[in-house]
Amino acid sequence: MPLSGETTNNRRGTRSSTPRCEHDHPMLVVGADTGYYARCLRCLTAGPERPSAEAARQALWMLGARPSSGG
């Protein structure tokens, strides 16, 4: 598990029927040298570094957000 805050593409822990993690499971927010980054505890993806813990959480959540299909 990289600790430098870079985004990973690790699918370990995801179900085979779920092609992409939504990052809506619990996450770990970690303090870095110049800010914070969040890691999804389901798929272990780390989001981009942000200046606050809440911004880091939102950035990771946005990585998992899917565009609406429009119905």
- pLDDT tier at 61, thresholds 50, 70, 90: confident
Tokens 């110049």 sit at which residue? 34
pLDDT tens-digit map of 33-45: 899 999 999 888 8
Give the pLDDT of residue 67: 54
Give the pLDDT of residue 69: 47
Domain boundaries, the chain: 1-10+21-65
pLDDT tens-digit map of 1-58: 444 544 445 444 444 444 578 877 789 999 988 999 999 998 888 999 999 999 999 9
pTM, 2 dp: 0.61
Amino acid at 62: M
The secondary element (H helix, E strand) that includes residue 36 is strand 36-40
Rounded Cα–Cα distance for residues 48 and 36 (Å): 8
